[in-house]
Amino acid sequence: MSPAPAGQAPSLRQLLFEPNISVNGLIDDSTVVFLLGRLEAVRQSGGDLIMELNTNGGDADAARRIALEIRLFRQHSGRNAYCVGKTKVYSAGVTIFAAFPKPFRFLTTDAVLLVHERRMQTSVELNGPMKSSIQIVREQLALLETAERLEMEGFKELVEGSSLSVDELYRRATTNCYIHAEEALELGIVADLLR
């Protein structure tokens, strides 16, 4: 691939067929390691970042780390970062997708976004003095409140520049919100649909 010069918008062909980072599959710690290596190659190339994203989701914290690296690339490289969501951008994938500002976010016409509240499965065992038990409950509550705050930050990033409010997105997310490509364009979540 010969990347477009930094700052020059990539062609439709580059967006659809010549990404310099492809994230396909589950988001986990190995995805973070893969992305860090690919980001270094993009930095060395002197071109813009073009990411292809197709995922069922995965680890929310791994997705947050990837989103951070994308933001840092944009802020410190002097280059643009584009993302094309293909077929499915579910769950943790939406966290990554939201790290790209709306003018740099695209979907293929078959794409679907899945936005939902973060899932958590844990058991809390209380067995001991009351003060110790209260502390365990407080720690779990702090964990939940932190996760909720981080989730809302991602929702705000996704709806920035769209006609969808963060409160409406959150309301929809509580019942697993599937947003098809056409609706995402109508809502102003993405810059365009790619065919």
Question: Which pTM value belongs to this model?
Answer: 0.88
CA 23 vs. chain centroid, Å, equals 11
Task: Evaluate whether 106 touches 192 at the Cβ level (below 8 Å).
Answer: yes
pLDDT value at position 76?
Answer: 96
Domain assignment of residue 24, yes or no: yes
HSE of 70 in the Cβ direction (CA atoms, 13 Å)? 26
Inside any domain, residue 25: yes
Determine the structural domain holding residue 65 and report its residue range: 12-194
Per-residue pLDDT, 7: 60
The answer to the question of residue 6 being in a domain is no
CATH number at residue 177: 3.90.226.10
Helix axes 29-45, 60-77, angle to 10 degrees: 10
Kindly state the percentage of the chain with pLDDT values over 90. 74
Residue 48 falls inside a structural domain: yes
CA–CA distance, 4 with 64 (Å, rounded to integer)? 28
In a domain, 97, yes or no: yes
C-beta of residue 67 within 8 angstroms of C-beta of residue 48: no
Q: How many domains does the chain fold into?
A: 1
For 73-103, the pLDDT digits (tens) are 999 999 999 999 999 999 999 999 999 999 9
With a cut of 80, say whether residue 179 has pLDDT above it: yes
Nearest to 100 by CA among 121, 79, 130, 123: 79
159: phi then psi, degrees, rounded to nearest 5: -90, -5
Does residue 62 fall inside a structural domain? yes
Does a structural domain hold residue 1?
no
Please determine, for residue 178, whether its predicted confidence score (pLDDT) is greater than 60. yes
| pLDDT above 60: residue 123 | yes
On whether residue 23 sits in a domain, the answer given is yes
